[in-house]
Structure 1
Amino acid sequence: MKSTSLKEILVVAFFIGLPFTYLGSIYESLPTIIPTHFNYKGEADKTGEKSTLIVVSIFMSFVSIFTYLIVKNANKIDPKKTSQSPELLQKIAFLIIVFLSAILLVIIQSATTGSMKSNQFLMPLIGLLFAGLGNFMHSIKPNYFIGLRLSWTLEDPENWRKTHQISSKLWMIGGIVIAVCSPFMPFAAGFIFSMIVLLVMIVYPILYSYRLFKKSKA
């Protein structure tokens, strides 16, 4: 095994194992019944056994590993065979692993407080994820796994390129705005604000790409 491969495995294992380490350190001190779901105000609206955290942690770890492998090996399984930069795929895969690990830590920490209100990291984390993805969007070539995979962007390389250029800028700006502004708002306000910004970040590029598609057919 190459040293780079070993390093990669160790880094992935570290981020996958971090939430389990944290959960193990506090598990005995947790009450038997903990909050397992929160509404948009950050208030617990569902409870369950604390063992639920173990199940959630295992499930999210499988999701993280599966997503990591799909993104990292996109060149091998993508029907378009567009040969994405391996370094680019590696960075995106690591970003997703780190994000999901951080989200799991937030979930575990919120179970200890009984409320999501006291946790001001959730929306900034989502903002940073989109900002990070935005940093890579302009470099992604047409494929069926990563990016805005619409029928008209997949069929037209120029449409894909222009759409992902505008998405790259919009996601970086929008993600940073969410990360910077949401911590200073009450949880409910920060959540609603972030959802509105995310909606604009996602819908505008879709409408933009569709307009390019209609213009090309005129």
Structure 2
Amino acid sequence: MKRRFIVVCLAALLLGLGMVAVFYAELPARIPIHWNGSGQVDRWGERHLVLLPSAFVLGLAALWLALPKLSPRRFAVESFEDTWWFSGMAVVCLLAYLQCVHLWAAREPGFAVDRAIVGGLGLFFVLTGNVMGKLRRNFWLGVRTPWTLANERVWYATHRLAGKTMVVGGLLSLAVVLAGLPSPAAVALLVGAALVPVAFSLVYYKRLERAGTLEA
């Protein structure tokens, strides 16, 4: 799986750089680099900034390879190694997708970039949500609150819930985008899907604490 992760990173890097090579000459000198919640451009920059996501892919790949070696023994990623590399591939693919969206939006000013971004994030939530329950306690990936890191039972229950909320939130946000509804509604679904497990981890920890059933 680690080798597959490296291959995916190289493919994403080559895809992004290839797209830049094809379209760079067609881009205006100044391109949009940020959009507000309504999909309107509110910040502009030099066109060489389309290369930035490729730098992020390279940096993320190096970080993802290094972090397992930096983990304390009790929080090592070896116990969920396949999930670690799968999640890394999902993040890299998301970055490559966002670079393609950015390039196309810079080339086609009328492109609905907000809907494209939210749709990509929705799919990302579905993919990563499906493996949330396989994560074990670590410092790098998952719902890392003080309460999940302090207790294995809270970690497990929280990530079981996170898997469900992320898949449901991702699917609903995709449905919102495909139905042509306002993208802020889809964003709210994704934010809710991410925040519900955070709140749950606190509530569940305190419930176990009051019951005297907390274990390290």
Relative to the length of structure 2, the TM-score reads: 0.86
> 8 Å contact 2:127–2:167 — kept in the other structure?
yes
Root-mean-square deviation (CA), in Å? Answer: 2.2
Answer with 174-183 or 103-112: which moved more.
174-183
1:29 paired to 2:46 = no
Amino acid aligned to 2:56: M
Partner residue in 2 for 1:65: 61
Equivalent-residue separation in structure 1 for 2:203 and 2:33 (angstroms):
42
Structure 1 ranges of 4+ moved more than 4 A: 4-8
Greater mean deviation of Cα atoms: 93-102 or 60-69: 60-69
1:71-114 Cα distance to aligned partner (Å, 9 max, x none): xx53x322233432222212111111111111111111111112
Structure 2 residue identity aligned to 1:17: L
Give 1:81's match in structure 2, choosing from 61, 68, 75. 75
Letter in 1 for 2:195: V
Residue in 2 that maps onto 1:216: 208
- Paired with 1:10 and 1:159, the residues of 2 have a C-alpha distance of 35
Instruction: Decide whether the 8 Å contact of 1:34 with 1:114 is kept in 2.
Output: no
The whole-number CA distance in structure 2 between the counterparts of 1:150 and 1:91 is 22
- Conserved in 1, the CA contact under 8 Å of 2:105 and 2:111? yes
Distance 2:3 2:70 in 1: 23
Deviation at residue 6 of structure 1 after TM alignment: 6.2
Distance change (3 Å), C-alpha of 1:127 and 1:5? closer
Report what 1:129 is aligned to: 124
Shift in CA distance, 215/119, structure 1 to aligned 2, threshold 3 Å: closer
1:169 equivalent to 2:164? Answer yes
Whether the aligned pair in 2 keeps the contact of 1:128 and 1:176 (CA below 8 Å) is yes
Structure 1 counterpart of 2:70, one-letter code: I
Aligned length: 208
Per the alignment, residue 110 of structure 1 pairs with 105
1:33 deviation in Å? Answer: 2.3
Do the aligned partners of residues 115 and 136 (structure 1) sit closer, same or farther apart at CA in structure 2, a change above 3 Å counting? same
Structure 2 counterpart of 1:139, which letter?
Answer: K
**Which residue of the other structure, out of 189, 192, 195, is the alignment partner of 1:200?**
192
Q: CA deviation at 1:183?
A: 3.1
**1:105-131 CA distances to partner (integer Å, 9 max, x unpaired)?**
111111111245266421111011111
Please give the secondary structure, in 2, of the residue aligned with 1:138: helix
What's the secondary structure of 1:40's corresponding residue? coil
Distance (whole Å) between structure 2 residues aligned to residue 88 and residue 44 of structure 1:
36
Question: SS at the partner of 2:134?
Answer: coil
Identity %: 20
Counterpart in the other structure of 1:149: 144
Following the alignment from structure 1 to structure 2, what is the Cα–Cα distance between the partners of residues 109 and 50? Answer: 12
Amino acid at match of 2:60: S
